[in-house]
Structure 1
Amino acid sequence: MTPVYCWVSLGSNHERDYQISRALQALQTEFGDLSISQVYETQPVGIKAKSCAPFYNLVAGFYTCLKPGELNKLLKRIEGNEKYLMPADQSIYVRALDLDIISWDEASGEVDGVQLPYPDLLKHDFVLLPLAELAPNQKPTGYAQTYLELWQEHAHPEQVLKPVELNC
């Protein structure tokens, strides 16, 4: 199979530096060179729990020969058993690591068990802004606008993204 380019989102709100660094290292080991966006600290979006710590979010791009389903399985292995931690207080939401495929080449619809492109692309600034920075002139499959144009039109002012540096 010819390698295709894909974008993946990374997020963590528990041991954020460690979890994001661990995931980036695993992706680099598996796929080689990565295009990595700025890391942003973000407040939770759409989480109903009483308490939820801020997230670190970013986007990484790379070439892969894995099909979307195979890539998704690899991402879930990288997440490991730490994806959802269950604190004693169930009103607290903890997501140690979350990895999602945003796009896989020009695939569209449900492909190999994965919905492409990422269905919440326009809802989550923590996905759209990094893509606007990394690939401003690229049009996601099924969209008439580039990532930059989509960011300019669909940014949510209430979703504050604060640039941060990882402390590895």
Structure 2
Amino acid sequence: MTIQSNTYLSLGTNQGNKLENLQNAINLIDDRIGGIQNISSVYKTPSWGFKGEDFFNICIEVSTQHQPETLMNSLLKIENDLGRLRSNEDGYQNRNIDIDILLVNDEIIFSKTLIVPHSKMLQRKFVMIPLAEIAPNAIHPIEKTKISVCLLNCDDSSEVTLTNETLKRPTPIYEKYNYIAIEGNIGAGKTSLANLLSHEFNAKTVLERFADNPFLPKFYEDNERYAFPLEMSFLADRYQQLTDDLAQYDLFKNFIISDYYIFKSLIFAQVTLPKEEYLLYRKMFDLMYKEITKPDLYIYLFQNTERLLENIKKRGRDYEQSIETSYLKKIHNGYKNFINTEKNLNLLIIDVSELDFVNKPEDYNYIVNKIKTF
């Protein structure tokens, strides 16, 4: 089970377009670290410990899987990507962005590279005021006291002024969608993407049980003989699985992701069945389709035929090695017709022909951002 940590961060800036600096940092944290749960108001404070421009300061709450040391390295990378230049001079300095880890759940960490809770947070009103705004009841794990009480005990005399500036909280995927279905041709990467998204966003997965179908190997050996029992068994199994799993929400998961949508049954049946059998199959399908929960987001992964064949060969399922290009093209055309005619789906098409989202984080992040901004 994926462990999500509630982490509180302090962000500050006193150079350039300060509001833009904060928003850019928030967006990158959302992209690379985890979902932004809360953002405080923006506070203006005088430079602390040196002479410089006034700061804009905020605190944010982030839900993340990252371990604290990994989190710290990721935040340093975000600072660098946003143009922060560190000096070898001692003391406090101007900066276009500064991100500090304040709290990670109720953990206490003393290492060579990281101290949590932040060692100086209790002495700084520009930290405690925005933190108390979004987490008044959070407990400081060393003081064993609520943050709101810690603020009252803070003897910092600095002037902290509430501004009228506002920042936008990126909407997490799990707040936009209850159920996402991922579809695509054979070998497009549906299951791989479903598992990656599930791991990052703490989703319940509904994965197709193709390995349990006794007709599948026989179908690839003798299409005509086994097409109808294969498609009927897939339809019955998909209907039962989706009916059961979509009806049972997991209180410990944020949403549901499946690596198929039941309409794929009709697409494959159109390709594999003769006309008379298909008409009978369609009657059964229409009865079941009325009862199935429709996804809030339908993602279609487009993969060119050459890459599909490479992926099929690479994953090494014996019964798939005889799949021909013509069969994959027929399946693709079936999906294409479905996409063009099914107007009620919230459809996102992603071309993954040139992507390796399993092995390249930048390709995976590209897909995640496509979903977030859709």
**TM-score, reference length from structure 2:** 0.40
Q: Shift of the alpha carbon at 1:71? A: 0.5
Out of 28, 36, 40, the position equivalent to 2:43 is: 40
**Higher helix proportion:** 2
Could you tell me whether the CA contact under 8 Å between 2:39 and 2:60 is conserved in 1? yes
Evaluate the alpha carbon distance shift between residue 74 and residue 167 of structure 1 in structure 2; reply closer, same or farther with a 3 A threshold: closer
The code of the aligned residue for 1:130 comes to P
Map 1:44-123 to 2 at 5 A. Answer: 44-47=47-50, 51-80=51-80, 82-84=83-85, 93-111=93-111, 113-123=113-123
The 2-side partners of 1:113 and 1:123 are apart by: 21
The code of the aligned residue for 1:162 comes to T
Q: Which has the higher contact order (CA 8 A, sep 6+)?
A: 1
Q: What is the DSSP-based 3-state SS (H/G/I as helix, E as strand, rest coil) of the residue aligned with 1:35?
A: strand
Evaluate the alpha carbon distance shift between residue 111 and residue 64 of structure 1 in structure 2; reply closer, same or farther with a 3 A threshold: farther
**Higher strand proportion:** 1
Runs of 4+ in 1 over 3 A off after TM superposition: none
The 2-side partners of 1:64 and 1:33 are apart by: 9
Residue in 2 aligned with 1:89? none
Residue in 2 aligned with 1:132? 132
Larger Rg: 2
Q: Shift of the alpha carbon at 1:24? A: 0.8
The code of the aligned residue for 2:161 comes to K
The 2-side partners of 1:131 and 1:60 are apart by: 8
The 2-side partners of 1:167 and 1:10 are apart by: 12
Q: Shift of the alpha carbon at 1:134? A: 1.0
Evaluate the alpha carbon distance shift between residue 29 and residue 153 of structure 1 in structure 2; reply closer, same or farther with a 3 A threshold: same
Residue in 2 aligned with 1:160? 159
Evaluate the alpha carbon distance shift between residue 137 and residue 53 of structure 1 in structure 2; reply closer, same or farther with a 3 A threshold: same
Evaluate the alpha carbon distance shift between residue 22 and residue 141 of structure 1 in structure 2; reply closer, same or farther with a 3 A threshold: same
Out of 22, 25, 41, the position equivalent to 1:20 is: 22
Deviations 1:122-156 (A, max 9, x none): 11111111121111112111112210001112142
The 2-side partners of 1:140 and 1:150 are apart by: 8
Evaluate the alpha carbon distance shift between residue 99 and residue 42 of structure 1 in structure 2; reply closer, same or farther with a 3 A threshold: same
Identity %: 23
Could you tell me whether the CA contact under 8 Å between 1:85 and 1:94 is conserved in 2? no
Evaluate the alpha carbon distance shift between residue 111 and residue 4 of structure 1 in structure 2; reply closer, same or farther with a 3 A threshold: farther
Out of 17, 31, 34, the position equivalent to 1:29 is: 31
Could you tell me whether the CA contact under 8 Å between 1:103 and 1:116 is conserved in 2? yes
Evaluate the alpha carbon distance shift between residue 63 and residue 112 of structure 1 in structure 2; reply closer, same or farther with a 3 A threshold: farther
Runs of at least 5 residues in structure 1 that lack an aligned partner in the other structure: 87-92
Q: What is the DSSP-based 3-state SS (H/G/I as helix, E as strand, rest coil) of the residue aligned with 1:32?
A: strand
The code of the aligned residue for 1:17 comes to L
Q: Shift of the alpha carbon at 1:85? A: 7.0
Runs of at least 5 residues in structure 2 that lack an aligned partner in the other structure: 88-92, 169-374
Q: Shift of the alpha carbon at 1:63? A: 1.0
The code of the aligned residue for 1:160 comes to E
Q: Shift of the alpha carbon at 1:112? A: 7.7
Could you tell me whether the CA contact under 8 Å between 2:10 and 2:102 is conserved in 1? yes
The 2-side partners of 1:140 and 1:19 are apart by: 28
Could you tell me whether the CA contact under 8 Å between 2:35 and 2:64 is conserved in 1? no
